Amino acid sequence: MRATLEAMFIGYHASHEQLAPSELLSSVQLAERVGFHGAMCSDHLAPWGVAQGHSGYAWSWLGAALALTRFGFGVVTAPGQRYHPAVAAQAIATLAEMFPGRFWAALGSGELVNEHVTGDPWPEKGERDRRLDESASVIRRLLHGERVDHDGAVRVHDARVWSLPTAPPLLVGAAISPGTAERVAAWADGLITTGTDASALADAIGAYRAAGGRGEVSLQVHVSIARTADDAAALARDQWRHGAVTRVSPWDVAQPEDFDRLAAESDADPAESVIAGAEPHEIADRVRALCAGVDRVYLHHIGKDQRRFVEEDAPALIAALEEGS
């Protein structure tokens, strides 16, 4: 497995939960100019905490972001409840047709904070997994031009996507646990995961590969960079407080206010859930230590001042990562 960042793709993660869509659009244009190789974004209806304060619609934003840049983009999305898989397939196909070879979508089983708005019951994890598997199959078939009927965890009636790209985009599996990584290997064109525990990441990546998982492995890493280490930790405690929610499943929390309450009741330190510090070389060393078996790393600075991060911190961080390759 890969042990260094040799030939590593270093991407920028655009967090819709923390910036207004217009500001995030400026940030991703800057990210391309300073040397990031590509970008990815979240797809939330709500942020994880009140202090984050935003949650723009990813699909509208992606059209603008792709039009105003030249590098590639991905999105992590959850078909099956808030998005019917046929609607998700149409959105994916439209972006892939307009921007050939530049767009991919990662499919996950979702979070209650985004999905509860439909008023439908929130299924247990096993049912959500089955719904994701079926949604992924429906989306792939639609992207290949099939007419689809399906009756299972999701229902589809005689669906067809009319505007198709020349080549279907990659459908990546989003997973954190080894069990989920093993399951998505059956249909995914690659894996995307996140975390700061090298052993846990190795277990998830190993499970994906052992199950026959193909394609590239991408890692999203949350970092907090500030003038001092104390400032970086304080920033994490303000903006990433949901990282302290460990006694209940964060996938089963309904409102940003609930995340804030649960974090306040927790003994965990949100700063421990991100890579926090002041020195780019130190941050780079800690990121590199997570990257065994990883082909792409997407860096997410968890602060709201993305312009300062991209213009001042990111070039040094990218250089430090490349120096250590």
d(C-alpha 122, C-alpha 309), whole Å: 37
255, 46 contact by CB (below 8 A): yes
Q: Count CB-CB contacts under 10 A for residue 193.
A: 22
Tokens of 260: 């804030």
Establish whether 312 is a catalytic residue. no
Tokens of 172: 């990546």
- Helix (H) or strand (E) holding 249, with range, is none
Of residues 57, 48, 66, 270, the one with CA closest to residue 165: 66
Helices (H), the chain: 21-34, 58-67, 85-98, 112-115, 125-143, 178-184, 198-210, 229-239, 256-265, 280-288, 306-308, 314-323
Tokens of 53: 């304060």
Establish whether 44 is a catalytic residue. yes
- Say which of 111, 115, 134, 182 is annotated catalytic: 111
195, 298 contact by CB (below 8 A): no
Give me the sign of the Cα torsion angle 248, 105, 14, 182.
positive
Cα distance from N-terminal residue to C-terminal residue, the chain: 14
d(C-alpha 127, C-alpha 132), whole Å: 9
- Say which of 13, 16, 44, 222 is annotated catalytic: 44
Query: What residues are labeled active site?
Result: 44, 111
